[in-house]
């Protein structure tokens, strides 16, 4: 029984691979660039582009379960290939944003709605993981922190219940290795709501460096973000920060209900990723 993990270079996929290997499960990693995926020794890496269904049959051969990144363009081709390969159980990396009031004008939420709908309508068994804000999003601060020790961002008091990728992976591993998770959708978050200022303070503590957050206007921030995404993405991000400015974000109970443990805090995430925020020697 092999479990195929797509999105091989992604932070969540890597955590899922680690979790499955720790649980003694056989894993195959799929990435658009398998060499860059840097898989652990002994793990097979194959090339898969979810937007190119021709890459799927070989990757799905002998596979009983799939950790799937959402790709609306490729989902019909993926479903056809998965059904031909024996209808593996799909654990989809979805998003909590599709449950929010503004989901109908959020293109990221709509992309995930399309993928969830297609999987639900297919004959494949599925489980949807719907995390909120990833702690790994703050890796976008790493180049500036390494170079200057200063994060320039608006809304220092904007909150997020940022989730550690290892917590998402824990739930994926449960969904793959225990009965009872098929047909379930789990809303996931970190265990506490933390402001951007508190996140920067955690990074300073974890790295032992002086790091400060310098508040800039949303428009100044927009200019620095232009290399990260299009106008739509930046509008959504700024709207999101403004919406949670000074307002704690609710915490989802699913991680604790499913594992019996509290999820990993942002402070823990900062310790786990401290090396990413330190200048090279
Ligand atoms: N960031 C957040 O706060 C957040 C919150 C909730 C949900 N999500 C969702 O989680 C997913 C990952 O987001 P992320 O921010 O973590 O991005 P990320 O780390 O950059 O991961 C993106 C991964 O997606 C894979 N991928 C993209 N297009 C692909 C394709 N055509 N075929 C195969 N793989 C493809 C890539 O794998 P390879 O390059 O190795 O092929 C890449 O590793 C997205 O669906 C996002 O909407 C994100």
Give pLDDT tens digits along the chain (281 positions): 899 999 999 999 999 999 999 999 999 999 999 999 999 999 999 999 999 999 999 999 999 999 999 999 999 999 999 999 999 999 999 999 999 888 888 889 999 999 999 999 998 999 999 999 999 999 999 999 999 999 999 999 999 999 999 999 999 999 999 999 999 999 999 999 999 999 999 999 999 999 999 999 999 998 887 766 677 778 888 999 999 999 999 999 999 999 999 999 999 999 999 999 999 87
Alpha-carbon distance of 35 to 19, in angstroms, equals 21
Tell the burial category of 189 from Cβ atoms under 10 Å away from its Cβ (0-12, 13-18, 19+). buried
Where do we find the tokens 């860059």? 36
103/228 same-domain check: no
Name 131's Cβ contacts closer than 8 Å, sequence gap at least 6. 93, 95, 96, 163, 168, 188, 189
Tell me which of 83, 116, 131 is where a domain ends. 131
Given ligand 1 and candidates 35, 45, 50, 69, which is best to mutate, with the most ligand atoms within 8 Å of its CB? 69
157 contacts 213 by C-beta, under 8 angstroms: no
146/68 same-domain check: no
Domain of 243, CATH number, reads 3.90.25.10
Name 19's Cβ contacts closer than 8 Å, sequence gap at least 6. 166, 169, 170, 172, 173
Dihedrals phi, psi of 227, to nearest 5 degrees = -85, -5
> Is residue 260 a part of any domain in this protein?
no
Domain of 41, CATH number, reads 3.40.50.720
- For residue 138, the CA-to-ligand 1 centroid distance in Å is 15
Q: Please give the pLDDT value at position 228.
A: 65
- Residues at CB less than 6 angstroms from ligand 1: 6-13, 31-32, 37, 48-51, 69-71, 93, 95, 108, 131, 133-134, 137
Alpha-carbon distance of 181 to 222, in angstroms, equals 40
Q: Please give the pLDDT value at position 227.
A: 67
199/239 same-domain check: yes
Q: What is the pTM of this model?
A: 0.96
144 contacts 171 by C-beta, under 8 angstroms: no
Token duo for residue 281: 């020697």
> Is residue 169 a part of any domain in this protein?
no
Dihedrals phi, psi of 42, to nearest 5 degrees = 85, -5
Count of domains forming the chain: 2
Q: Which atom of ligand 1 is nearest to the CA of 165?
A: 16
Q: What angle do CA 236, 243, 219 make, to 5 degrees?
A: 55
Alpha-carbon distance of 4 to 60, in angstroms, equals 7
């Amino acid at each position: 029984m092999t479990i195929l993990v797509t999105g091989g270079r992604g932070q969540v996929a890597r955590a899922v691979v680690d979790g499955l290997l720790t649980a003694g499960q056989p894993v195959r990693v799929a990435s658009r660039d398998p060499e860059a995926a840097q898989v652990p020794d002994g793990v097979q890496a194959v090339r898969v582009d979810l937007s190119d269904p021709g890459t799927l049959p070989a990757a799905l051969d002998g596979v009983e379960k799939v950790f799937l990144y959402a790709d609306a363009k490729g989902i019909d081709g993926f479903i056809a290939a998965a059904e031909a390969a024996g209808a593996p159980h799909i654990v989809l990396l979805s998003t909590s944003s599709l449950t929010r009031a503004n989901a109908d004008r959020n293109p990221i939420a709509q992309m995930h709605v399309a993928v969830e709908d297609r999987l639900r309508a297919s004959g494949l068994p599925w489980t949807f993981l719907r995390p909120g804000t990833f702690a790994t999003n703050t890796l976008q601060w790493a180049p500036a922190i390494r170079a200057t020790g200063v994060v320039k961002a608006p809304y220092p008091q904007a909150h997020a219940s940022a989730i550690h990728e290892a917590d998402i992976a824990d739930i994926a591993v449960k969904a793959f290795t225990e009965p009872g998770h098929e047909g379930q959708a789990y809303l996931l978050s970190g265990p506490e709501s933390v402001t951007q200022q508190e996140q920067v303070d955690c990074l300073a503590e974890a790295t032992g460096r002086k790091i400060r957050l310098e508040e800039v206007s949303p428009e100044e921030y927009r200019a620095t973000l232009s290399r990260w995404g299009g106008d739509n993405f930046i509008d959504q991000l700024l709207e999101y920060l403004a919406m949670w400015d000074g307002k704690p974000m609710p915490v989802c109970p699913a991680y604790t209900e499913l594992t019996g443990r509290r999820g990993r805090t942002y402070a823990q995430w900062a310790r786990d990723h401290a090396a990413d925020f330190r200048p090279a020697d």
